[in-house]
Structure 1
Amino acid sequence: MSLPSFLEKHRDPTPVDEDTKKPIDSEANINVQEQRSDDSERISEDVQAGVQAIQATATVWTTTALIIAYIMIFIIYFVDSMQQNVTAALNPYVTSSFALHSLTAATNIMSNIIGGLFKLPLAKILDIWGRPQGYFAMIVVLTVGIVMMAGCNNVETYAAAQVFYWVGYNGLGYSLSIFIADTSSLKNRALMFAYSNSPYIATVWIGGPIAESVLGGAGWRWGFGIFAIVTPAVTLPLWGLLAWNHNKAKKLGIIHRRNSGRTFLQSVKYYAIEFDLFGLILIAGGLALFLLPFSLYTYQGEGWRAPMIICMIIFGGLLLIGFGLWEKYWAPKTFLPYDLLTDRTVLGACILSGVLFVAWYIWNAYFSSFLQVVNDLSVTEASYVTRIYTIGSCFWAVVVGLLIRWSGRFKWLALYFGVPLTILGVGLMIHFRQPNTDIGYIVMCQLFIALSGGTLVICEQMAAMAVVSHQYVAVILAFEGMFSSVGGAIGSSISAAIWTGVFPDRLARYLPADEMANLAMIYADLETQLSYPVGSPTRDAIQQAYGDAQKYMLIAATAVLSLIIPSVIVWRDIQVKDFKQVKGRVV
């Protein structure tokens, strides 16, 4: 069957679950008729204040204001993606400057956990206090994180700065995603998400040269210092536009000021319950204590038997169990209704998100270093290869958005294209990411992973949003983001464990006898590894050690990716073309 015929076959105006042949609202807790009713443009009375505020704001947007907002979003993503590329290229050199190159993955663990979990309270900030307030807070946190990275003097401060940076960076991107969801129809949302990420196609070529220029000139600190100035300059104008239209709706009487009547202590208690503060402390502490030992055990004289490592794992596990019990039996308010939390489409999308990030962080943590040491690429050249995923996935996401808009469905794209291609791409790298292998084969694998990633990321977000009302869009995306960030932390932990367990052991096995005294420095410092000429016995030994560590990482990543098959199969085949989920002037 030709592609146009296949797409035409799926142009079904009725939102039907293809597995059960029932209307989608019978299982997904959605009143479709209510979403399609003639009075759907009225501000919802049964949603939280922040959701009401953005619905009211959307009714007073002019077309010009909406166009300007999307142009600003493009500029913000352009600068933020360029900043991320530079930061990723500088990261190994920052840890190496403290003689702790092996902590490259470990510095990502806490930042990924906290950065992902913070989306949950941020979702409540956006829903309860408002979109402009949450967005502004993320600008402040992101800027603080960049300033801290520029001024850090040890790896501990850098790790703390990474937490601020990723909380702000993820939070800023998340706030923009919620704005896009608020101002786009469901059938066009995949396309608008793809549009917002399209700047990555251009900035991938800029980050590497900037990083290399900074390293060869002013130093890595100025690589961060530049963006400490630029970031607030490009992000604040959108906040001003949001705040202005918010106040416009308030002056017109569409948004009403509410007096809670609570005292200060009553407000503290109220928001602690609304944000599920105790539950967040349990899960953040539990995940941190459980995952960190995987990267820290080699720094203990007794390894896994060290009392600190054992205590962290035990108490981390107990806190995670406590979180589950708290959410099920005692939490006064959970983030999502239980039926949505256990919905197969939502849960499948979240598992897919988590597994993709687990696999990604397993094989990607030391990829840039591998390309420089084993393939003898410069910082710029290595950044080009590592960013093939970014270019390909962002470009292909636009195509996926158009296909979803045309067919009204997304499951077929994920199941028949995205899933098999990503497993193929990662699996092939087991063989090709080794010394003396042509770089072209690695590029080919990156292209496979890029096309599949551009498909799966868009489809998983659509799957999560397609079964909820506007009230829960922010929270469901936060929940999906939590899975991806926790998945990234798990992947970083696994990669760090493999690296610290395999790489130094193989160095000791392969290094010439006269270089054994330098083993610790070679292990800890990327620049020391690069200082040995290509073709020398020591460089060959380092390259072989890299190859062995990478092989185990890729085997682990491929095995983990097998979980994405059932996570997509369980999705409903939802027709999104005719849903009216949001109110006001939208794309």
Structure 2
Amino acid sequence: MSTSFSSLPVVDVGALKDPNVPSEDIAQLSQKLYDVFATTGFAYLINPPLTFDHEEIFGLSREFFAIPLDQKMKLAKKSFRPTHANTYRGYFPTQPHLAADNLKEGFEIGNPTVNHRELEKMEAKKINLTEPNVWPHGAYFSKQERLEEMYDELQKFASKLLSLLAVSLGKDANFISSWLEDSLSTLRLLHYPPVAQAQQGQAVQEGAAVRLSCTPHTDSGILTLLHQDATGGLEVLNAVGEWISAPYIAGSIVVNIGDLMAQVSGSRFKATMHRVRAPLANPDAQNSEFGRFSIPFFFEPAEACVLPVEGDENEVVYGEYVRKKMSTADPPTNPAPPINCTPERGLDPLSCSMSEEYSSPGKGRTVVQPPEYEDEGATPIIGTKSPGVARIEALSNQITTGNRIAIFIGVFLIAYAYGLDGTLRYAYQPTATSNFGNHSLLSTINVVKAVVAAAAQPTAAKIADVFGRVELIIVSIFFYVLGTIVEAASTNVQAFAAGAFLYQVGYTSLLLLVEVIIADTTSLRSRLFFSYVPATPFIINTWVSGDVGDATLKNAGWQWGIGMWCIIFPVASLPLILSLMWVGRKAKKSGALDDYKTPYQMYGPKKIAIALFWQLDVIGIILLTAVFGLILVPFTLAGGESATWGKGHIIAPLVIGVLCIPVWIMWEKRAPHPMVPFHLFKDRSVWGALGIATFLNFAWTCQGDYLFSVLLVGFNETSKSALRITSLYSFASVITGVLLGLVVFKVRRLKPFILFGTCLFMVAFGLLIHYRGGVSGTSHNGLIGAQVLLGIAGGFFPYPAQASIQAATKHEHLAVITGIYLACYNIGSALGNTVSGAIWTQVVPGEISARIANQTEAAMWYGSPLGLLAAHPPGDPSRDAVIDVYQHVQRLLCITGICLSAILIFFACVIRNPRLTNEQSLPDAEERNETDETGSKWGFWKR
């Protein structure tokens, strides 16, 4: 944070003009620069070692912008002229109808001597950082050579300043020498059009934010040298939240530090927030016709330059850093349709555009993207940067260490609450269904919950991207509490299932939001470790849940055991909500949200409702829910004491569900906004991770669905020990995962651990087949050992697979791809519940009937087994018969699981093994081809 300065300091750098200047003077200048950049991060430099003055460089700028629009558009970047090849250098027009940050036109040139590199085929989607400059015809602009000379002088001046800064940091003066070869430094000519005084004054009178030509930001690079004219407009934010004007000082250059240089300095230098007011149209001013001109020079190392980040073991490859910053730039909302920029139409060059144009955070670098929505009637609330994404990125820039600690404390508390509730509720469900006389419907309820979760998570992800994280947390809590009340008050299995439905909507959305918030606020390198924050409560809950659940069932009953969470959970959620709201308040106060508008403010409720219907793909969600629900649920209902496969209530949903599959596929191919970004599925890192998510839970649920009942009946465990044993998987996986997160932070790779974990998972299923039931101590200890081993394996690959898929996607797709990953996780649960339910209902009633002569008693052992345990201890003939049945069916379930584990290993082989960085996602995310052209396509297992 900058200090509470009231003006920018002035530093005389005249000593740099004299090659024989005493070393003492250089040392003093180095210390002076250190003091400036360690406090304000900004300064005026006077007496710079340059052969040109302001008048000359601004004369060239005015000469360029006086060129006719049709000639300037010949230099336009590719996104403005699709037939052009230049993407990084060239001209961009002003687009005031898009956003305040677009109230400027500009022209960029780079190093004329850089080694221009042609992008390979697999890099076709990347912006070429080394592309050559483009220039207007000599008849319109004859000063190309002089502008290149000025570029060279500014490059040398910036190099001298950085050498002094290196010395001030205790480095060698040649510390930056490796940064200079093939430098990507950019000289940018900028023209800001004037804004009418009436318009600016009206904004102030109404208390609104002033009109800005450039919104608040910090520069993202190394060092910026700025020539500004006498118009003024630059403002710098001090520590107390005041915007300090940086007026023109004759003969001076404004210098400031970028985010990356702050990191290189170990945060000793400060990258300070700043903005630019739109210039007023003053009839008496000499420049009233032209507005404001400024010429920033951004010092940048070479594309392949590796920058050491002090205080961190990570190294930054500059080209990757730039592309990452450009991919996360905030685009304007409500893009306009393309316009032809031709002299015949008589258009003002300040209102001409062909697509969105926006700047990467703080650097002033123009990044151009094609419009996400070309239909004039579209309401682009979900896209490259939907409102919720833009808002969370603005908030992320305001998060301090203290804020981050508060957020993670809030995450821990809310996770502790829903984690303990979930563990207990998982144990209460068999008791509730047994009390209702429908114990066999346990798998049916679990299938319904899993289907709801699978449909809810991608939807919740999109809604969070539109409205914001906090808003959806509050809505999710509402559904969580409502479902809890309905479950607790239910008197039959139908009402209980309805409550489970509502609860699952809230619970599933909260699970997603917690993971998305963690991904929003962490780097790839540390994400695996922090992803376990919401899972760490299992370390406590494994041992606490048994006592709580046992005491509740004995004294208050399962209804109160569920119902008490409608009070506890909202209270536990408050710290996370308040910490996020506090960060939002800080962002708003700093001006970072000045241009942010909610979807309601932008479009109104009617347009929002219509846009959400199409852009959330409501029809696709309904069809997909119908596919899974109508096909999977009947498999859990058709067995029982008398099979009902031929009945209409079983056949009809199966037929409708199957028919919905081609309908869903056809709809998704034609939907204006399909529910999943299918283009991402071309990357094996994506579909491989989704396969892991699906088959992990498919396999686990096969053995875990009826595990609590098997422990009580087949192993003669108490409810307390049964609760603890069912929690051992979570306990062991969290302990393993947290330790693994620290290891991954060091080695920066995921795939070897994922492969090892899937193989160990298969071994654990082998033990479960062997120790599948019985009241002996050997069976008891064997099952515990198998569950612990299963948990250790689970610590090695589910969360790493999630981190892997997040690394393969850009930040704007992070919430959606996380939602899809968790949806596949729940689809796996639904499949596992279906298979386990089908095996249970097909096998158990027949086997019990075959072993127990009294068919009335046999029916009770099938429908309400938990109520018979006290009267039939081990040794009782009917209890021993049921134990044999449970052993048999658990063996079938675990054999199914071990077969599915083999498929898990395949998916672990196909995912990529990228090196994790300190960024939120990899710079080349979504730009990889399916096969590596540089190696054998059969080598995917090790790449």
Residues 22-44 of structure 1: CA distance to partner in whole angstroms, max 9, x if unpaired?
x9994897879676129939852
* In 1: Cα distance, 2:562 partner to 2:324 partner: 50
Identify unmatched segments of 5+ residues in structure 2. Answer: 1-118, 128-316, 332-383, 924-943
Matched residue of 1:387: which SS? helix
Is the contact made by 2:916 and 2:922 (CA closer than 8 Å) also made in structure 1? no
For residue 698 of structure 2, what is the aligned residue in structure 1? 358
Matched, 1:83 2:421: yes
The whole-number CA distance in structure 2 between the counterparts of 1:517 and 1:378 is: 26
Contact 1:183-1:582 at 8 Å conserved across structures = no
SS at match of 2:532: helix
Q: Which has the larger radius of gyration?
A: 2
SS of equivalent to 2:564: helix
Q: CA RMSD in A?
A: 2.3
Q: TM-score, normalised by structure 1?
A: 0.90
Q: Is the 8 A contact 2:768 2:894 kept in 1?
A: yes
Which position in structure 1 is the counterpart of 2:439? 101
Aligned residue in 2 for 1:233: 571
Contact kept, 8 Å, 2:693 with 2:798, in 1: the verdict is yes
Matching of residue 383 in structure 1 with residue 668 in structure 2: no
2:836 aligned with 1:495: yes
Structure 1 residue 336: Cα displacement = 4.3
1:562 match: secondary structure: helix
Q: Distance in 2 between matches of 1:580 and 1:310?
A: 48
Residue of 720, 727, 733 corresponding to 1:393: 733
The sequence identity of aligned pairs, in percent, is 28
- Residue 501 of structure 1 deviates from its aligned partner by 0.7
The counterpart of 2:747, out of the listed 407, 414, 426, is: 407
Alpha-carbon distance change, 286 to 441 in structure 1, aligned in 2, over 3 angstroms: same
Give the match for residue 10 of structure 1: none
Say whether 1:138 aligns with 2:424. Answer: no
Listed one character per residue, the Cα deviations across residues 424-458 of structure 1 (whole Å, up to 9, x for unaligned) are: 11122112113355211111111211011111112
1:434-473 aligned at under 5 Å gives the runs 434-435=773-774, 436=776, 438-473=779-814
What is the rounded CA distance, in whole Å, between the counterparts of 1:69 and 1:334 in structure 2?
Answer: 33
Q: 1:309 to 1:129 in 2, by over 3 A?
A: same
Aligned to 1:248: 586
- The amino acid of 2:674's aligned partner reads T
Q: Are residues 469 and 29 of structure 1, via their aligned partners in 2, closer, same or farther at CA, if it must alter by over 3 Å?
A: farther
| Higher helix residue share | 1
Task: Please list, as runs of the form range in 1=range in 2, the aligned pairs for 1:476-495 lying within 5 A after superposition.
Answer: 476-495=817-836
Provide the secondary structure at the position in 2 that maps to 1:577.
Answer: coil
Residues 301 and 440 of structure 1: is their aligned pair in 2 closer, same or farther, counting only changes over 3 Å? closer
The whole-number CA distance in structure 2 between the counterparts of 1:529 and 1:432 is 24
**Alpha-carbon separation, structure 2, partners of 1:263 and 1:218:** 48
Paired residues of 1:389 and 1:450 also in contact (CA < 8 A): yes
- Contact 1:149-1:158 at 8 Å conserved across structures: yes
CA deviation map 1:239-282 (0-9, x unaligned): 12212322432343322243776464433221111101110000
**2:916 is the counterpart of 1:576:** yes
Tell me which amino acid in the other structure corresponds to 2:477: I
* 1:357-399 CA distance string (max 9 Å, x none): 1111111111111111121110001111111101100000012
- Aligned partner of 1:8 in structure 2 is none
Which AA in structure 2 matches 1:454? G
1:265 and 1:76, CA in 2 relative to 1: closer, same or farther beyond 3 A?
closer
Partner secondary structure for residue 60 of structure 1:
coil
Instruction: Please give the per-residue CA displacement for 1:98-149, whole angstroms capped at 9, x wherever unaligned.
Output: 0111111111111111122101111111111111111111111111111111
Opposite residue 430 of structure 1, the aligned amino acid is: I
Identify if the C-alpha distance between structure 1 residues 71 and 25 changes in structure 2 by more than 3 Å, giving closer, same or farther: farther
Q: Verify the 8 A CA contact 1:376 1:534 in the aligned structure 2.
A: yes
Q: Is the 8 A contact 2:702 2:832 kept in 1?
A: yes
1:192 and 2:544 correspond: no
Which residue of the partner structure matches residue 223 of structure 1?
A: 561
Shift of 1:578: 4.7
Counterpart in the other structure of 1:71: 409
TM superposition shift of 1:341? 2.3
* 8 Å Cα contact 1:396-1:454 kept in structure 2: yes
| Pairing partner for 2:448 from 110, 115, 119 | 110
Distance 1:395 1:78 in 2: 15
The residue number in structure 1 matching 2:902 is: 562
Give me the whole-angstrom Cα distance separating, in 2, the residues matched to 1:517 and 1:37.
73
Task: Output the CA distance in 2 between the equivalents of 1:27 and 1:571.
Answer: 20
**Bigger Cα displacement from structure 2, 289-298 vs 426-435:** 426-435
Number of the residue aligned with 1:36:
321
For the structure 1 residues 342 and 394, does the alpha-carbon distance in structure 2 shift closer, same or farther, using more than 3 Å as the test? Answer: same
2:634 matches 1:296: no
Q: 1:123 maps to what in 2?
A: 461
Equivalent in 849, 860, 871 of residue 521 of structure 1:
860
Please name the residue that 2:650 is paired with: 309
The alpha carbon displacement at 1:526 in A equals 2.6
**Closer/same/farther in 2, CA of residues 35 and 272 from structure 1, 3 Å limit:** farther
> Secondary structure at 2:325's aligned position in 1?
coil
For 1:576, the aligned partner's letter is L
State the one-letter code of the partner of 1:439. H
| Counterpart position of 2:880 | 540
Deviations 1:514-551 (A, max 9, x none): x3321111111132341312111111001011111111
Relative to total residues, which structure has the larger strand share, 1 or 2? 2
Letter of the structure 2 residue corresponding to residue 388 of structure 1: L
- Considering Cα pairs closer than 8 Å and 6+ residues apart, tell me whether 1 or 2 has the greater RCO: 1
Distance 1:250 1:299 in 2: 60
| 1:307-343 per-position Cα deviation (integer Å, ceiling 9, x unaligned) | 2212211110111221122112x11012444321232
Cα pair distance change 1:266/1:525, threshold 3 Å: same
* Paired amino acid for 2:485: V
* Counterpart position of 1:341: 681
Q: 1:485 Cα shift? A: 0.6
Retained in 2: the 8 A contact 1:92–1:104? yes
Match of 2:51 in 1: none
CA 1:185–1:529: 2 relative to 1, 3 Å: same
> Would you say 1:429 and 2:768 are equivalent positions?
yes
Find the aligned partners of 1:484 and 1:38 in 2 and give their Cα distance.
Answer: 32
1:161 positional shift? 1.1
The CA deviation string for residues 130-176 of structure 1, in whole angstroms up to 9 with x for no partner, is 11111111111111111111111111111111112222112112111
Once the two structures are superposed, residues 179-220 of structure 1 have per-residue CA deviations (whole angstroms, 9 ceiling, x without a partner) of 100000110000001233111111111112111111111111
2:638 aligned counterpart, secondary structure = helix
TM-score, with length taken from structure 2: 0.57
Q: Structure 1 stretch 300-309 or stretch 491-500: which is displaced more?
A: 300-309
Match of 2:889 in 1: 549
Return 5+ residue gaps in structure 1 as ranges. Answer: 1-22
- Equivalent in 702, 714, 717 of residue 374 of structure 1: 714
TM-aligned CA distance change 1:266 to 1:68, over 3 Å: closer
CA positional deviation for 1:59: 1.6
Is the 1:529–1:542 Cα contact (8 Å) retained in structure 2? no
* Separation of aligned partners in 1, 2:123 and 2:540: 42
Kindly indicate whether the alpha-carbon contact (under 8 Å) linking 1:429 and 1:445 is maintained by their aligned counterparts in 2.
yes
Maintained 8 Å contact 2:698/2:829: yes
1:118 is paired with a residue whose SS is helix
Distance of aligned partners of 1:310 and 1:556 in 2 relative to their CA distance in 1, 3 Å threshold: same
